[in-house]
Amino acid sequence: MTNLGTPPATERFLPLKGKNVVLGVTGSIAAYKAADLASKLVQAGAQVDVVLTGSAQEFIGKATFAALTHRPVTTSLWDANSPMAIDHVALALSADCVVIAPATANTLAKLALGLSDDALGATVLATDAPLVVAPAMDANMYSAPAVQANLALLRERGVVIAGPGEGRLASGLIGKGRMEEPLRIVGLVRQAIGRGGDYAGRRVVISAGGTQEPIDPVRFISNRSSGKMGYALAEAARDRGAEVTLVSAPSALDEPAGVEVSQVRTVAGMRNAVLAASQQADLLVMAAAISDFSPAEVAAEKIKKNGAGLTLELVKNEDWMPLVTGPKLVKVAFAAETGNAVEKARAKVTSKGAVFTVANDVSEPGSGFGTDTNRVTIVDAAGAAEQLPLMDKLAVAHAILDRALPYLK
Ligand SMILES: Cc1cc2nc3c(=O)[nH]c(=O)nc-3n(C[C@H](O)[C@H](O)[C@H](O)COP(=O)(O)O)c2cc1C
């Protein structure tokens, strides 16, 4: 058997490691989706304590959550097996975040009034932890003035309202009321827990993905960038309290929650969006793979395959990263190279006006485009190079943010 060059196993970076999340589940038809959310929170490293309302138990049982979280599940204030039996605010005090998903219209009304006639109500009232609420209900219920007023009140009190999304509802109606996607709720929980982090009050712009330069209306020139490194950077900065703008060239990845996403396609689109977003920013990390060359002309019609072949003339694109400036802006460049990445990155630091360049040799196993891991070397303006081990891209993202932080003004 040939050795396919499998990279050494690296530990997955768990963004919620060491965090306690209380997951409240209420009596909505969407309660089954809470099982997926519980699983995703556990996979992100959190310790998850589930609290079910009486109505939630009509839809889904304790055993599902106990098996997914490996923790006792609370169903009542008077439940002898719950930590709440000894101390009814135990969960409230241990929580780093309370998330209610799905949240019924009834529970929203109870939260707005501050009722504590069940385990979930008591937990919410007694906690200092951030509260994330994901409403789920029929579109007519959702648009009811009472529900809207309750949501406005909760928002005013600093509660994070996740979704709801639009689409087909269990009632058969098409409209607003679908519970937010579990992965996005996890993103909002991560953001809520990190809101006092070391990037709090900072504006961070991340570029990601591979630009597409049109040849004609149906074809383009692009590259293999998946966007994974840039998306990981956007999530890491969000998780540390930053206000993040992600300028994304086409990528198959889901947009991270709690991040402003500007979707672009071409080099020119990327340039305009990055220039605009960076003016008031503290940090720009250019993780996007931007086409160095573009077709000299874009055909207005699809090019026919009449001739024996096709010769395209390409022109070199201007390097506009030096032009991106702002009163406080600190810039970090990326250099994806095949061979001698560090040498090439050294030349790039000053030419880009960056404080350091993140070099990665995309030809190395486990590194570069499409992989979940990366091995990078950080080359600073003095030419010093720090090689980091092969790591999960989220861990690489945090390492980059650690090193950028001291430069911020
Ligand atoms: C089949 C069925 C589905 C329901 N789905 C929802 C729903 O999606 N959203 C909602 O707000 N209420 C829904 N309800 C109504 C709630 O279950 C009811 O208001 C209950 O009192 C909520 O209690 P809780 O908020 O304590 O969980 C549904 C009721 C039934 C019978």
Distance 48 CA to ligand 1 centre (A): 23
Q: Do 51 and 83 fall within a single domain?
A: yes
Residue pair 74/50 in contact (Cβ under 8 Å)? The answer is yes
Question: 352: closest CA among 378, 377, 334, 376?
Answer: 334
Is residue 83 assigned to a domain?
yes
Strands (E), 144-278: 160-161, 165-168, 174-178, 203-208, 213-214, 220-221, 243-248, 260-263
Q: Do 227 and 329 fall within a single domain?
A: yes
The strands making up 97-103's β-sheet, listed across from edge to edge, are: 47-52, 20-25, 97-103, 131-135, 160-161
Q: What is the pLDDT of residue 369?
A: 67
Is residue 101 assigned to a domain?
yes
Rounded distance between C-alpha atoms, residue 103 and residue 134, angstroms: 6
Is residue 97 assigned to a domain?
yes
Express each pLDDT in 196-235 by its tens digit.
999 999 999 999 999 999 999 999 999 888 899 999 999 9
Residue pair 30/178 in contact (Cβ under 8 Å)? The answer is yes
Tell me how many domains the chain contains. Answer: 2
Phi/psi region, residue 6 (left: phi>0; alpha: psi -120 to 50; beta: rest), is beta
Token reading at 342: 């560090």
Express each pLDDT in 40-97 by its tens digit.
999 999 999 999 999 999 999 999 999 999 999 999 888 777 766 677 788 899 999 9
- Mutation to probe ligand 1, out of 51, 57, 77, 106 (largest number of atoms < 8 A from CB): 106
Q: What is the pLDDT of residue 168?
A: 82
Q: Which secondary structure element, helix H or strand E, spans residue 52, and what is its range?
A: strand 47-52
Ligand 1: residue whose CA is nearest its atom 10 = 104
Rounded distance between C-alpha atoms, residue 289 and residue 291, angstroms: 7
Residue 260's Cβ-side half-sphere holds a number of Cα atoms within 13 Å equal to 10
Phi/psi region, residue 370 (left: phi>0; alpha: psi -120 to 50; beta: rest), is left
- Cα–Cα distances in Å, from 405 out to 7, 15, 92? 30, 19, 33
Is residue 1 assigned to a domain?
no
- Is 223 designated active site? yes
Token reading at 68: 């997914």
Express each pLDDT in 180-199 by its tens digit.
999 999 999 999 999 999 99
User: Which of 160, 175, 193 corresponds to the end of one domain?
Assistant: 193
Q: Do 314 and 356 fall within a single domain?
A: yes
Q: Which entry of 106, 140, 150, 223 is annotated as an active-site residue?
A: 223
Q: Do 111 and 181 fall within a single domain?
A: yes
Residue pair 164/142 in contact (Cβ under 8 Å)? The answer is yes
Sign of CA dihedral 162, 167, 168, 174: positive
Q: What is the pLDDT of residue 310?
A: 87
Residue 118 Cα: closest atom of ligand 1? 26
Q: Looking at beta carbons, which pairs linking 72-80 to residues 24 or more positions away fall under 8 Å? A: 73/49, 74/49, 74/50, 74/119, 75/51, 75/119, 76/118, 76/119, 77/118, 77/119, 77/122, 79/119
Residue pair 35/68 in contact (Cβ under 8 Å)? The answer is yes
Rounded distance between C-alpha atoms, residue 178 and residue 51, angstroms: 21
User: Which of 138, 168, 193 corresponds to the end of one domain?
Assistant: 193
Is residue 288 assigned to a domain?
yes
Q: Do 292 and 344 fall within a single domain?
A: yes
CATH number of the domain that 189 lies in? 3.40.50.1950
Phi, psi torsion values for 368, nearest 5 degrees: 90, -145
Q: What is the pLDDT of residue 4?
A: 52
Q: Please identify every stretch of the chain with a pLDDT value under 50, giving residue numbers as ranges.
A: 1-3, 6-7
Token reading at 168: 């087909």
Residue pair 204/281 in contact (Cβ under 8 Å)? The answer is yes
- Mutation to probe ligand 1, out of 26, 33, 55, 151 (largest number of atoms < 8 A from CB): 55
Q: Do 377 and 329 fall within a single domain?
A: yes
Residue 104 Cα: closest atom of ligand 1? 11
Q: Do 34 and 183 fall within a single domain?
A: yes
Q: What is the pLDDT of residue 368?
A: 64
Is residue 9 assigned to a domain?
no
Rounded distance between C-alpha atoms, residue 215 and residue 303, angstroms: 9
Is residue 6 assigned to a domain?
no
Is residue 231 assigned to a domain?
yes
Domain membership of residue 152 as a residue range: 20-193
CATH number of the domain that 237 lies in? 3.40.50.10300
Q: What is the pLDDT of residue 9?
A: 55
